[in-house]
Amino acid sequence: MTVFQRMVLGARAKLAREVELCVLPNEERVKVFREQTKTEKPVKCVWNVPGLEEIGPRKPKPNLLTPLKLFYGGSLAPSRLSPLILQEIIKLAGQIELEIVGYATYAAQKYIESVVSMNKEAGRKTISYHGALSRRSELLAVADSCEAALCLMPMSSQDLNMRTMAGASNKPFDAMARGLAVVVSDIPDWKKLYLPGENHDSGKGYWISDMGYGIAINPESGESVRAGLEWNLNNREKLWEMGERGRQKIQKEWNYEKMFAPVLTRLKIN
């Protein structure tokens, strides 16, 4: 650990012991935070959910005569949007299209160039890159044209933040708010959150739930990615049902106003 890192952690611990309340977006992060800072102050877990004003209207049922559109929003890097997924989408050119909004990290500048060039391989515009849109409304408009969102994480990581993104990542919640089904990684915490109830292993590399808001795949397995994409393609009405179920979940429970209410109540009391 560097001197700077020790200074940052020391300042973090000092603040945690002096403030009235600490707020983190994941239960495991809460546990580690308490252990690291030794704070005795209350620590609340509040997910990174959207506000009620960002919930979209009920989406119309899909037009099965048009390609299935998938959405990806966020930082662009192979660990989040792997070449494996892009290659499988390219193979289904004409049936699936991918809409990308986001920015490439410094280390991934050449990656985005390769992503865009994949259209040449497909012989048609299968992947559309909109860049980092300046307005939130523009991003949501792109999302609204899609039926499902790719919200994938690496299957394993040495980075605590990467391992504890369930609830901390706003991508799935934002997608659900616009009526999109979510495609998440086959990671226990993520399946518990987005595939509630009993998870069913398809035996083909993806997981589904009768009460879920999408499906789970292994983004590092070609077989799983392929099977998951084909399921989405062949079950677009079920995908629509998942998206609508997710939109209603955001509207009723998983919104900023409701989840942040206990924090606001405590701040008003004090």
Q: Note whether 58 and 36 are same-domain residues.
A: no
pLDDT in tens, 66-87: 999 999 998 888 888 888 999 8
Residue in the block written with tokens 């739930």: 209
Mean of pLDDT over the chain: 91
Residue 87 lies in a domain: yes
Q: Note whether 139 and 185 are same-domain residues.
A: yes
CA angle 188, 192, 177 (to 5 degrees): 125
CATH number reported for the structural domain that contains residue 234 in this entry: 3.40.50.2000
Locate 183 and state its tokens: 């495609």
Count of structural domains, the chain:
2
- Is the pLDDT confidence value at 90 over 60? yes
Residue 220 lies in a domain: yes
Contact yes or no for 201/228 (Cβ under 8 A)? no
Residue 144 lies in a domain: yes
Q: Note whether 171 and 215 are same-domain residues.
A: yes
Q: Note whether 28 and 113 are same-domain residues.
A: no
Q: Note whether 22 and 119 are same-domain residues.
A: no
SS3 69: strand
Q: Note whether 75 and 125 are same-domain residues.
A: yes
CB atoms within 10 A of CB 266: 13
Distance CA 70, CA 147 (A): 6
Q: Note whether 17 and 150 are same-domain residues.
A: no
Residue 265 lies in a domain: no
In 3D, which of 87, 80, 212 has the Cα closest to residue 157? 80
Q: Note whether 34 and 60 are same-domain residues.
A: no
- 156: Cβ contacts below 8 Å, ≥ 6 apart: 163
- This prediction's pTM: 0.92
Residue 261 lies in a domain: no
Q: Note whether 233 and 103 are same-domain residues.
A: yes
In 3D, which of 89, 70, 9, 57 has the Cα closest to residue 247? 57
Locate 61 and state its tokens: 């049922």
Contact yes or no for 111/74 (Cβ under 8 A)? no
Locate 30 and state its tokens: 């809460």
* Domain containing residue 5: 1-45
Q: Note whether 26 and 153 are same-domain residues.
A: no
Q: Note whether 33 and 135 are same-domain residues.
A: no
pLDDT in tens, 211-260: 999 999 999 999 999 999 999 999 999 999 999 999 999 999 999 999 99
Residue 63 phi, psi (nearest 5) = -90, 105
Residue 266 lies in a domain: no
Q: Note whether 180 and 92 are same-domain residues.
A: yes
Residue in the block written with tokens 């398809």: 202
Locate 96 and state its tokens: 């699936």
Residue 82 lies in a domain: yes
pLDDT in tens, 12-52: 899 999 988 999 999 999 999 999 999 999 999 999 999 99
DSSP label of 125: -
Per this entry, what is the length of the chain?
270
